[in-house]
Structure 1
Amino acid sequence: MIVIDQVEYEVDYRFARQRIRLRYSPDMKEIFIVEADGTLAPIRLLNKTENALIKREKVRLCKGDE
């Protein structure tokens, strides 16, 4: 997730923990991540309701967590 002017957008997980470069229209209706090869990957507004319904694997931080 990234935040631009207090608006949350979701990005693909492959961009996690990376510095990214953005390209956007003046009205901010279209925002893209500029990938290393120059292609543009679109981003979209964060939909918290939709995100809450996605099943994810549980991540164990250490052996003792149950």
Structure 2
Amino acid sequence: MVDVNGKEAAPLYKFLKSKKGGFLGDGIKWNFTKFLVDKDGKVVERYAPTTSPLKIENDIQKLLSTS
């Protein structure tokens, strides 16, 4: 099990949340929060758990075309 919030949060989640906070703060409120990260490790966007992967396809394509 990996913690995503609190003092024991995994370093990856601490990093992601520090770069792109959520609508109601930095905490991850529910499973399936999505982060889009470029090839250099820059967090480009954060998506709500309810966002369908198909809804972020354009953002992914756009990011791939600039690499």
TM normalised by structure 2 equals: 0.32
Largest Rg, 1 or 2: 1
More helix, by proportion: 2
More strand by share: 1
Greater RCO (Cα-Cα under 8 Å, separation 6 or more): 1
TM-score of the pair, normalised by structure 1: 0.32
